[in-house]
Amino acid sequence: MTSASHDEPLVLVHRDRGRFDLVLNRPAQFNALSEEMLAALKAELAVVAADPAARCVVLSGAGRAFCAGHDLRQMRATPDIAYYRDLFGACTEVMQAIAALPLPVIARVHGIATAAGCQLVASCDLAVASSEARFAVSGINVGLFCSTPAVALSRNVPAKRAFEMLVTGQFIDAATAESWGLTNRTVAPGDLDAAVDDFVRTIMAKSPAAIRHGKALFHAQRERPSADAYALATEVMARNMMEEDAGEGIDAFLQKRAPVWAGA
């Protein structure tokens, strides 16, 4: 898709059983995150969160880019600190909604992912990038340090690498993004969909209950001291063992057969 009419939604939604594809749909603006785009994305994430059959989300961009960050023209039109607090707060709510979803979110990245677009990649649980993709937190180039993108970026990329990106605003290529931990896979442009599909198939073959427990635990324990993290993980793992899927999975392993997951 190369263009979007005013009548088209800002986030396109395609559903195939438990897979949801959310497509940022402002291709002429390189999918810049306007106020309206953020509201639409937050609303669609809430729909997915409320759907018990949802198993995986793929987040992508229409047109030539994944996402070019905030809409700078819209930002300049309202030079008011209360407005900016609300705008960056709305963006933060979207990023936190991705983390709070009880299922994996995969970024499918092509073209550029800059500033809040790079933050969006860092906020997803997994990311697959075209070898032609490029990443930057480039606010510094227009006099704005990418403070909110720094939160997600610094939780993916080592501190000195993250600060280098933030303070120089320079692009890194897809291979560098993978080696620094921002993405999981780098593939040829023609292989991007197949690589994403492979992740989706693998995830959807697992226990929905185990993934639900596991994603919540993974994010909750990361910022805790080791002892607290282990205490939380112990409780979550014990609760996971009480799920029907855990009993089924262990029985299937012992009986040398494929498991049949509840709700799959």
In the CATH scheme, what is the homologous superfamily, with its name and number, of domain 208-254? Answer: Lyase 2-enoyl-coa Hydratase, Chain  A, domain 2 (1.10.12.10)
How far, in Å, CA of 200 to CA of 197, rounded? 5
Work out the pLDDT band at 223, boundaries 50, 70, 90: confident
Instruction: Copy the structure tokens of residue 260.
Output: 């049949």
Residue range 199-215: average pLDDT?
95
More confident: 4 or 49: 49
In SS3 terms, the chain reads as CCCCCCCCCCEEEEEECCEEEEEECCHHHCCCECHHHHHHHHHHHHHHHCCCCCCEEEEEECCCCCECCECHHHHHCCCCHHHHHHHHHHHHHHHHHHHHCCCCEEEEECCEEECHHHHHHHHCCEEEEECCCEEECHHHHHCCCCHHHHHHHCCCCCHHHHHHHHHHCCCEEHHHHHHHCCCCEEECHHHHHHHHHHHHHHHHCCCHHHHHHHHHHHHHHCCCCHHHHHHHHHHHHHHHHCCHHHHHHHHHHHCCCCCCCCCC
Residue 141, CB half-sphere, CA atoms under 13 Å: how many?
11
Evaluate if residue 236 carries a pLDDT over 80.
Answer: yes
Mean pLDDT of 105-109: 98
Q: Which residue ranges make up each domain of the chain?
A: 11-204, 208-254
Q: What is the pLDDT of residues 109-126, one digit of tens each?
A: 999 999 999 999 999 999
**11 token code pair:** 């986030």
Q: What is the pLDDT of residues 141-158, one digit of tens each?
A: 999 999 999 999 999 999
Q: What angle do CA 236, 237, 240 make, to 5 degrees?
A: 85
Grade residue 6 by pLDDT with cuts at 50, 70 and 90: low
Q: Specify whether the CB–CB gap between 243 and 134 falls below 8 A.
A: no
Query: Does position 76 have pLDDT exceeding 50, yes or no?
Result: yes
What's the pLDDT at 220? 92
166: its two tokens: 């933030």
Confidence label for 7 from pLDDT (cuts 50, 70 and 90): confident
Q: Which CATH class is domain 11-204?
A: alpha beta
Percent of the chain at pLDDT > 90 equals 94
Q: What is the predicted pLDDT for the residue at 245?
A: 93
